Structure 1
């Protein structure tokens, strides 16, 4: 019998931090769990990424209410993954905003992703009974959208494919702060199961060109100061490249997925083995890297059944 995914046994509650990374800009983090960003404008609040359930989202709302009583008008989704979006109903926002591609991916694979992630992350989906259904964006854009929270300007941008095909960032120019979703991680493994390895580095370059003074990454601690920001971007770049390179080499010589898994582990374990959710992400990352190396541009849809089949194949 195949052993369980690493995340299925992770049931301990995580310590929450709420860090101000610029004037009225906050990062809600929890020891490698999905992060949420908070942008407070003159007249309202924007939340970036909603958490997996209303139960978890209410923890974000509690932190927001400790610093402002302004209404939460916007929820921005950096991408479509269930752990990022299914808590959106808890905020009572007027608009839920995402890229056009993100909305298309909810339609194409949102339910399958929910089912898959529910089985992988039981702790994050405690209280799942309160999820009203798939989270559908009410406003979308192709490449860029600018909103004003009073005088505070927020630019939402699709800078390129990376963690998914529909990733967006939120840029707050008055403070030089960016909310990147899972394009950038800090001391946490990148989940690449729906990623685009060939594009990810260019998207990181696009983020770096803004010269952010601070970043709220997808997972891990808030990044404050250009030195910390640069280190996290380059660590993310190294993680992605170190995952793809050995898997592509195995695929090129006709080797098996299991051989690719061993090759990636040999390269990545010494550098990234201590990162949050590393063991959880590894099989999905290798499977996607192997597929991309074989010419599959669009990631295959993960289902709960495919998860099990892949995991059993790697252990067989």
Structure 2
């Protein structure tokens, strides 16, 4: 996945800032494999969204959340099972109620061990962060939606169905107009397609696009992406539009005798010309590969 040594994916608690009343975001500061993390409070409970990668990061997040909570009950949820989002949940055992959707729980149990080993291969800094990881079991599993009462504030947890992963989850705070998207949305970066055949082919470009159409219609005031700067509803529109063009440009060429390698070259040129400032160009190839497959089985 990478040809260079990744920086240490450390969560910096000191960068935390308030995005709404009793709602704090710990930003990823543009560091790879560091997610944006949320702390959402109500009168009697506090929800933590994402753990950071590994026990040490999660311990810092838990300590900070405990200070913010000031005696309130703690909950933990994660937007999907990938290591930087969920591979610190073990630290919260006995301190917080860990709740996620059924598909994500299955991903964590079935695919988690393979992702743990794969990510350890991304460099020494990442491997150190993952040292001692034990994949946690959720305390509470829901099917498609769950309304969490924090006391005077309800947080909506919604499983989107298969998109970036099988178990993607949107976390919405309606009274604040805030939406946590996980890796369904990135800011300033091409969409991350974890397309690794034959080991993992659960990502779906077509279903992801359908999910984004629904999210755009919700028009949240604040969007907290999986990675990158916090923004507004335009972040949702950017991802929707990118996925739409990626699909159309790929399928236009897939219907010809053109090789997949040539399709990748041509589509990548189109997408980079449209978004020259975006990072993560390597994910365009993965997206094209996924959509070529979906074209063949539709």
Q: Which residue of 1 aligns with 2:16?
A: 18
SS in 1 for 2:121: helix
Q: 1:260 aligns with which of 238, 263, 269?
A: 263
* Match for residue 210 of structure 2 among 202, 207, 211: 202
CA deviation profile, 1:135-163 (whole Å, cap 9, x unmatched) = 33222112111111122211111234321
- Map 1:76-87 → 2, pairs under 5 A: 76-87=77-88
Equivalent pair of 1:83/1:117 in contact (CA under 8 Å): no
Residue 198 of structure 2 corresponds to none
* Contact preservation (8 Å) 1:239, 1:272: no
- Residue 67 of structure 1, CA deviation: 4.0
What is the CA distance between 1:65 and its match in structure 2? 5.3
TM-score normalized by the length of structure 2:
0.84
Q: In structure 2, what is the equivalent of residue 236 of structure 1?
A: 239
Distance 1:13 1:84 in 2: 12
2:197 counterpart residue number: none
Once the two structures are superposed, the pairs formed by residues 118-197 of structure 1 within 5 Å of their partners are: 118-120=120-122, 123-131=125-133, 133-193=134-194, 194-197=202-205
The Cα of 1:87 is off from its aligned counterpart by: 1.1
**Residue in structure 2 matched with residue 290 of structure 1 by the alignment:** 292
RMSD: 2.6
Structure 2 residue matching 1:98: 3-state secondary structure: strand
Shift of residue 197 of structure 1? 1.4
For the residue of structure 2 that corresponds to 1:179, the secondary structure is strand
Residue 45 of structure 1 is matched in structure 2 by 46
**Shift in Å, 1:216:** 1.4
Gapped runs of 5+ residues in structure 1?
Answer: 224-228, 297-316
CA spacing shift, 1:222–1:19, aligned 2, 3 Å: farther
Distance 1:57-1:121 versus aligned 2 partners, 3 A rule: farther
For structure 2, which runs of at least 5 residues remain unmatched after alignment?
195-201
| TM-score, normalisation: structure 1 | 0.79
What secondary structure does 1:245 align onto?
helix
2:199 alignment counterpart: none
SS of corresponding position for 1:184: strand
Contact 2:213–2:240 under 8 Å retained in 1:
no
Deviation at 1:254, TM superposition (A): 4.2
**Aligned equivalent of 1:246:** 249
